[in-house]
Structure 1
Amino acid sequence: MSCAVNCHDPAMCGTTVVSPKLVLEAVNVTVAVNDISILNGVSISAANGELVAFMGPSGSGKTTLLDTIAGRRTPQSGFVKLNGTPMDGKLRRKLGFVLQEDTFFADLTLWETLYFTSMVRLPESIPKAEKVQHIEDLAESLGVKKCLNTRIGDMFNPGLSGGEKKRASIICELLTDPDILLLDEPTSGLDYCTALTLVQRLKKLAGEKNKIIIFSIHQPSSQMYHMFDKLLLLAQGKVAFFGDRSDLLPYLENVGFKCEMQYNPADFLMGILKSDESTIKRLTDAFSNRDGATPLKDMATNDKSVCLSLAVTNNAFILEERDTEVQIFEHNSFDQKIVEETTKWPTSFSTQFHMISWRTFKVSRGRILHLYELLQSMILAVILGLVFFQIPQTIDSIRDRMGLLFITVAHWTFGAAFDAITAFSSERGVITKEIKAKAYRVSAYYLARTLTELPLVLTLPVFFYAVAYWMAGLHGVSQFFVSLLVLLLSTLSAQGFGYMIGAACMDVKFGIFLANTTILFALILSGFITQTLPAWFSWAKYLSFIFHPLSAMSLILLQDMQPLPCNTLSTDMFPQCLTNATVVITGKDVLLRAGITLPIYCYITGLVIFLLLFRILGCVALSVRFKDPK
């Protein structure tokens, strides 16, 4: 077992070590999506120290095969084995997968990104100092140490270059010292020199540390091509060739495709793989029927002069000749202790919760407390304070006060819900990658994110309400703090609603549409826009998560308003004035007229129920979507 995963010698921790003897096999893998065949009976094998490349035109099935080997896609038939044992969740923890798209939090620095990965994916038995040293060693070996304090960045904010991000993705996987490393198009978007350097480092890693490294590549240069140990050619989901790279060109000449001297073999291969249907069928049929033809090893010895090209070794150009003897691997040497030592989670729940909270605070702080958000909240609060400045505490002005409360609750309901939806959608790529890599539990992520954002989410409503409340002169000090508590509970309820929608909806536009429609419907049901809802539908207001905080805040601030004699009020609104003109109308009468008929604790209880319900449903939706790896 590698030192980074199970360290018995502290002096060895912080660097990758030689992996045990392993043989990875994919046998007769068939994958179809919506009755469209993506892979058709693909078989490969790879052993320690080998650099295996998948080549083929776009749509040939390279990424699908990598996904299947990594356990991210279930094949319709066929299987993947490691040393003869079917791959399961435990064995796949020996595997690292670098996606084609580099997904990171743009606001974090490279060091913060790697630090988080090392703390959640490396066992707690390894001291923190050794984990940090491991980060620096890998950053040095892949040439990004000078960038450790640079932000990752995105299309709007500059940061790491494309090549640096790709190497950052590789380091994130190498931190756990996997015995098998899968990479999807690692050279895509890189310039020639950067791509060549990357492949050279992967080749060195495979050879010196005895790793199995498998990657897809679209069209390598001649120098890259000669670094491959094995090569898989895919065309329309079928195998056109798989075997030692040195066997390929003799084999192709044997079936009628000859590569000319001093021609880049990779260009030659891509040319025939993009040929017409008959050529592709000829290639795939020839390989599927190869058992009846000349063995590959015999072909290789027939003519070693076919398309000999220049290979690069230590910056010197040499003509390459390899021993093409077929290797036979035994599975009975499988060390069962490797499986037993691979625990379900590398770190405890508390460690995962702590590190996710640490990262969430760093990422969310800039978004929630952004300067523009602060200015918007303060400007709106001042405008409302001026419009409703020092409202008299009389029955005449009670509807104005209710209007101010309505605007306040509605504003923070929309704001908190939409922020949660958009933020969760923007993080989905990173979270999906990390959960599928079995870095942490879904429950740890959700709980840490929910609790960490509490002080951030509640900061702006506090300042907003303080400005608007005292400028409008709504009531006294005690009423301010109690009504503020209700507003904060309402904000958290709206945020939980946003979490629920964001976790359930993959399409952010549909999520916003659904949230917007639901909140508007809840506002209408609250009775604060109109009081002419049909009597048979009046019960529906209790299903509005906006009705409860509005009712509670109205009771706190308005029920003890100064009474007003009946002779100044409309008898249509208050029928009791018809029988006795000397009767006074109180704030409680106005609230009853507005449909606020229950004690305040009922509305607060309803608000708390909605708050808990939304957050529980959000956790359930997230768990169903991602599911904790087995």
Structure 2
Amino acid sequence: MSVTMDSQSHSDSIETSKAPQHDAFAIDIEQKVVDDAHLMNDTVKDYLWKGVTVTVKDHKTGEPKAILENVDGIVKAGEICALMGPSGCGKTTLLNVLAHRDAATGAKVEGKTFVNGNEPSTSVFRRMTSYVEQEDALIGSLTVRETMHFAARLAHKNSLTKTGRIRRIDALLGSFGLKNQAHNIIGTPIRKGISGGQKRRLSVASQLITAPKILFLDEPTSGLDSAASWEVISFVKEVAKKNNLIVIASIHQPSTSTFQLFDRLLLLSGGKPHYFGSVEGVEGHFGSLGYPMPIHTNPAEFILELMNIDFASHSAAAEARLDEIQQGWVESTGAKQLTGEMDAASKDVEPLPVTKPSKRSFFIVLMTLVHRSFIKSYRDVVAYGIRIAMYMGLAIMMGLVWLRLKTNQEDIIPLTNAIFFGGAFMSFMAVAYVPSYLEDRATFVKERANGLYGASAFMLSNFIIGLPYLFLISVLFSTVAYWLSNFRPTAVAFFTWIMWLFLDLVAAESLVVLMSSIFPNFVVALALTAFANGLWMSVDGFMVQPGILNVFWKYVFHYIDYQSYVFQGMMVNEFADRVYNCDADCHCMYVSELAPQCQIAGTAVLDQYGYKTGKTGLWVGILLAIVLGYRLLGLGVLMLRK
């Protein structure tokens, strides 16, 4: 088939097993562990690819442009293969093709891949593989053990019992040298956690919890020093050897010791293969082409310098040299041996490993995500702690600025201003949720790509976990600001105010989720969310009353402005049942039926804005519809942006 890309309790999470420790993530066969045996009985003997070619449309010429051209290779069980070459040579593109992921936008992919001589469907293939991204998309407030625990619970092979899951987690932590860090947090911008090398090892270990047959690593040593790089690759190699795991990793410029850990090497330049074979055979091959390797030289650096022509002073000569090396590989004994090995493997067809589709219910996945988010929410102060402190500071400031307003007519405008400030600026400050959501989104993108769950489970769990915190913020803010400012002093009015503020924050956070889903960049998401809230402030009816608001802004934006319904609701809550005193000479700012008594009915203030009473249910319904709209749009964006 052508390669085509298809675009428990909290205590359990920190439980320490008393089960025996193992050197590898597979359960020892001698133990006859029933709940794990079926996962490890079948192995993948080899994975090969033939004639992989990827072309895209050149933006300048409009002609097809090859990113990869006729790339072959084979990796056997227990081997670890490096994809290496200069920047832009097609390493990541090839890795994505081999992992049955999208190669590039608008790319045409040709070629075939075989597992045990079979061409598995994309769904079957993904159930037997795992992919580790270049960036560590880990939740910083979780511990190492909790990260492994949730990876196991979300895995599509979740038929493990609790005991089996703990045993496997312990075995992986031991295999990757993370046992002593099991109860350390990953690390947040505020709290220091484990080292960079330990994070990379954890990223790999969390994917191995599913017992994959083939593991893809995108730049696993990126950002690490030579010692940490060697650590990561050596742990991967040990696990691969002991468990007949196939590992394919793109890598940039490894040290000599790291380079020698790989069993096979695929060398790319300009999208073409220039060598495929054992790492030990590199020196002999290039020596036979007239490029002997100097002594005391890092072989990886040597061959990368040969492959890289970006900085060559004589580009024509460098290109000619590269063509000569590529032709030398095509005509080499190694290329002929590769062809023979691939032909033999293609004919030696064996059944594919047994991989059953996920039997997890949506509810189980959802509750697992909510549980994980709950731990993050109370442990990571960036998520809600800082926001609570910020909102409390805003409440104290508001209460002291609008301190003890009276029921005189000169206090009507300050009361109106306070209502606007309390609703509008509370929603504006929801931009503080951007970094926390972007971290969650990065984790979701990684886990969705590995087939753990979909966008709907992520979006719903994100919505659920925010509700109690937003309600808490609403209560805390209102308890301070409402009574200091002396809004209508009744229990019904107070709790109605809390309701409006809560809906305001829910809508504001949903707007943050939508903007950050469309533009998953901190600065861009922050700027656009702030701009959107500025727009909503301008047209919500306070700055310019709805009756005189320009028809364009009124009919295009005002009626879909969640802040406008919050402002209306708070205004009605304050003025519908309250009476204000005119000045000493009985001059009344607002004309009402109480003018003969030197008083102003609060409904007269509402009349100036065109607000009617008795529409609370309608406004709440519209607000909920806006929240639902934001969330559905955000869900649509996540589903489309794969």
2:476 maps to a residue whose letter is F
One-letter code aligned to 1:568: C
Map 1:76-155 to 2 at 5 A: 76-82=108-114, 83-85=117-119, 88-154=122-188
Is 1:23 the counterpart of 2:47? The answer is yes
1:402-461 Cα shifts (integer Å, max 9, x gaps): 222111101221123x13433222333222111111111211111011001111122122
Contact 1:501–1:515, Cα closer than 8 Å, also in 2: yes
Residue 334 of structure 2 corresponds to: 296
Show CA shifts across 1:326-368 (max 9, x none): 8821356242573xx341x463212211111111112223336
Query: Which of the numbers 452, 458, 471 marks the counterpart of 2:465?
Result: 452
Matches within 5 A, 1:81-480: 81-82=113-114, 83-85=117-119, 88-154=122-188, 157-260=191-294, 264-274=298-308, 276=312, 277=315, 278-279=317-318, 281-288=320-327, 293=331, 295-296=333-334, 328-331=344-347, 333-335=349-351, 338=354, 341-343=355-357, 345=358, 347-365=360-378, 366-367=380-381, 372-416=386-430, 418-475=431-488, 476-480=490-494
2:608 is aligned, of 580, 590, 593, to 593
Alignment correspondent of 2:569: 552
**Partner Cα separation in structure 2 for residue 125 and residue 9 of structure 1:** 13
Amino acid at match of 2:429: G
Structure 1 residues 279 and 244 mapped into 2: Cα distance closer, same or farther (>3 Å)?
Answer: farther
Q: TM-score, length-normalised on structure 2?
A: 0.83
Residue of structure 1 in register with 2:99 after alignment = 70
Q: 83-92 or 405-414, which moves further after superposition?
A: 83-92
Q: Find 1:605's aligned residue among 610, 621, 626.
A: 621
1:623 matched to 2:636? The reply is: no
Equivalent of 1:497, from 511, 514, 520?
511
Q: Which residue of 1 aligns with 2:20?
A: none
Residue range with higher mean Cα deviation, 75-84 or 475-484:
75-84
Aligned to 2:586: 568
> Any idea what the Cα deviations from partners look like across 1:598-624, whole Å, max 9, x if unmatched?
533333332222222222222222222
Number of residue pairs matched? 592
- Identify the residue that residue 321 of structure 1 maps to in structure 2: none
Distance in 1 of aligned mates of 2:100 and 2:336: 36
| SS state at 1:102 partner | coil
Letter of the 2:334 counterpart:
L
Contact 1:361 1:452 in 2 (8 A): yes
Partner of 2:548: 533
1:114 shift after superposition: 1.1
Distance in 2 between the 1:497 and 1:88 partners? 35
Contact 1:32 1:39 in 2 (8 A): no
The Cα shift of 1:289 comes to 6.8
* Structure 1 residue ranges without an equivalent (≥5): 301-323
- 1:593 Cα deviation after fit: 1.1
Give the superposition deviation at 1:135: 1.0
**2:345 counterpart SS class:** coil
Distance in 2 (CA, whole Å) between partners of 1:26 and 1:155 is: 45
Residues 285, 533 of structure 1: alpha-carbon distance in 2 compared, 3 angstrom cutoff: farther
Q: Which amino acid aligns with 1:51?
A: I
- Whether the 8 Å contact between 2:50 and 2:113 is mirrored in structure 1 is yes
Give the Cα separation in 2 of the matches to 1:71 and 1:294.
Answer: 30
Please give the TM-score of this superposition, normalised by the length of structure 1: 0.84
SS in 2 for 1:52: strand
Q: 2:58 aligned with 1:58, yes or no?
A: no
**Residues of 2 paired with 1:200 and 1:525: CA distance?**
60
Q: How far apart are residue 500 of structure 1 and its match?
A: 1.4
| Bigger Rg, which one | 1
Q: Which residue number in structure 2 is paired with residue 309 of structure 1?
A: none
Instruction: Name the SS for the 1:85 alignment partner.
Output: coil
Q: CA deviation at 1:280?
A: 5.2
Per-residue deviation, 1:227: 4.1
In 2, the alpha carbon distance for the partners of 1:501 and 1:193 equals 40
Cα distance, 1:138 vs structure 2 = 0.8
Letter in 1 for 2:381: R
Contact 2:388-2:473 within 8 A present in 1 as well: yes
- For residues 522 and 598 of structure 1, the distance between their equivalents in structure 2, rounded to whole angstroms, comes to 22
Equivalent position SS for 2:71:
strand
1:568-601 alpha-carbon deviations (Å, 9 max, x no partner)? 3458x64999xx9679642112211122135333
SS in 2 for 1:328: helix
What do the CA deviations read for 1:358-407 (whole angstroms, capped 9, x no partner)?
Answer: 11112223336755444433333233323333323355533222222111
Cα distance in 2 for residues equivalent to 1:290 and 1:119: 46
State the SS of the aligned residue for 2:579: coil
Query: 2: distance between equivalents of 1:429 and 1:501?
Result: 15
Would the alpha carbon gap of residues 17 and 170 (structure 1) be closer, same or farther in structure 2, given more than 3 Å must change? farther
**Relative to 1, partners in 2 of residues 1:179 and 1:326: Cα closer, same or farther, differing over 3 Å?**
closer
Contact 1:524 1:530 in 2 (8 A): yes
Task: Tell whether the 8 Å contact from 1:15 to 1:134 is kept in structure 2 after alignment.
Answer: no
The residue type paired with residue 596 of structure 1 is: Y
The answer as to whether partners of 1:14 and 1:134 remain within 8 angstroms in 2 is: no
Alignment gaps of 5+ in structure 2: 1-24, 60-64
- C-alpha separation between the residues in 2 aligned to 1:152 and 1:444? 24
For the Cα contact (< 8 Å) 2:539–2:564, is it kept in 1? yes
* SS of residue paired to 1:234: strand
Residues 283 and 400 of structure 1, relative CA distance in 2, 3 Å threshold: closer
**Structure 1 stretch displaced more, 327-336 or 433-442:** 327-336
Secondary structure at the aligned position of 1:104 is classed as coil
Q: Does structure 2 conserve the Cα–Cα contact (< 8 Å) formed by 1:565 and 1:581?
A: no
Residues 22, 598 of structure 1: alpha-carbon distance in 2 compared, 3 angstrom cutoff: farther
Q: 2-side partners of 1:108 and 1:34: how far apart?
A: 44
Given that residues 79 and 86 in structure 1 are in contact (C-alpha distance below 8 angstroms), is that contact kept between their aligned partners in structure 2?
no
CA gap of 1:154–1:595, structure 2 versus 1, over 3 A, is same
CA-atom RMSD in angstroms:
3.4
- Report sequence identity in percent: 25
Whether the aligned pair in 2 keeps the contact of 1:98 and 1:184 (CA below 8 Å) is yes
From the superposition, tell whether residues 285 and 528 of structure 1 become closer, same or farther in structure 2 (CA, over 3 Å). same
